[in-house]
Amino acid sequence: MMKMIIPSNQRSLEIDLSENLLKTNEQLARENRSLLDRHGIFAVDILGSVGSGKTTLVQQLVLKLKSRRRIASIAGDLTTTIDADRIRSAGADVVQINTGGECHLDANIVGQALGKMDLAALDILLIENVGNLICPAEFPVGAHRRMVVVSTSEGPYMVVKHPYIFMDAGVLAVNKKDLAGIMEVDIEKLKQDALAVKPGMKVVFTNGRTGEGVDDLIAALELPEA
Ligand code: MG
Ligand code: ZN
């Protein structure tokens, strides 16, 4: 969120507004969750920086799962439809959300997207959040599972520098594992970093380009039985 410089006698006002915003978001997230549950839809909130490989992994998940499950996606992006087009080409319905300047999806936006979807015709919803690892941590959208994607191309410190995003996450995909050597990134160390923040987190190593590790990712997501 943008921070404004305000006189000190108004500071508490800003904090109250911010708390209200987060509380309202949490209430709307609960409403999204119960709407999803009523329709038997399992939703995954997918977080990761721009270029980490979120869309590529969503494409791979759609390709692997679409014969057994009815899948749709919500693609959050500042301004483009690139991701939505890619996911659609893999065979899933997509609702594109252009957030304008907003750097995360929130429960209100996701709720509006749900209103545009045929929920009776869905089993799995993959929500690709806007590409950053900071503020989405504070804005649950009502998903059942949070999955974080960190790429070896982002260097060795992505996990230790973004602890908050991992606290509510169930799954970490360490992506572009084929580049680990060239990037001199120790993927086992990334795994240990994640487990230090969130014991019990499922960590999988993937290569979204080839599909390697995507079966492990599907297992880690613990999707409900078809
Ligand atoms: Mg993307
Ligand atoms: Zn944001």
Q: Distance from the CA of 102 to the center of ligand 2, in angstroms?
A: 6
Kind and range of the H or E run holding 141: none
Cβ contacts of 156 within 8 Å, gap of 6 or more:
184, 185, 186, 189, 190
**Residue 69 DSSP code:** S
Position 176 scores a pLDDT of 98
Ligand 1 centroid–CA 60 distance in Å is 13
211 alpha carbon to ligand 1 midpoint, in Å? 16
What residues does the ion ligand 1 have nearby, CB within 5 Å?
A: 54-55, 83
- Distance (Å, whole) CA 84 – CA 208: 17
Ramachandran bin of 202, using left for φ above 0, alpha for ψ from -120 to 50, beta for the remaining angles: beta
Nearest to 126 by CA among 154, 149, 101, 145: 145
Q: What's the CA-to-centroid distance between 22 and ligand 2, angstroms?
A: 12
Q: Which CATH superfamily is domain 18-221 in?
A: P-loop containing nucleotide triphosphate hydrolases (3.40.50.300)
Q: Quick one: which ligand is closest to 94's CA?
A: 1
The pLDDT of residue 6 is 46
Helix (H, G, I), strand (E, B) or coil at 68: coil
Q: Give the domain ranges of the chain.
A: 18-221
Q: What is the pLDDT along the chain (226 residues), one digit of tens a residue?
A: 444 444 455 555 556 668 899 999 999 999 999 999 999 999 999 999 999 999 999 999 999 999 999 999 999 988 889 999 999 999 999 999 988 888 999 999 999 999 999 999 999 999 999 999 998 999 999 999 999 999 999 999 999 999 999 999 999 999 999 999 999 999 999 999 999 999 999 999 999 999 999 999 999 999 998 7
Instruction: For residue 149, give the ligand nearest its CA.
Output: 1
Amino acid at position 195, single letter: L
Q: Is the dihedral of CA 83, 86, 88, 93 positive or negative?
A: negative
Give the ligand at the shortest distance from the Cα of 138: 2
d(CA 72, CA 36): 13
CA dist 134 and 1 (Å) reads 10
Best CA proximity match to 169, nearest among 161, 159, 177, 178:
159
The one-character DSSP state at 73 is E
Which ligand does the CA of 101 lie closest to? 2
Whole-angstrom distance, CA of residue 127 vs CA of residue 194: 22
What is the Cα–Cα distance from 45 to 124, expressed in whole angstroms?
11
How confident is the model at residue 100, as a pLDDT? 84
Structure tokens at 92: 């899933």
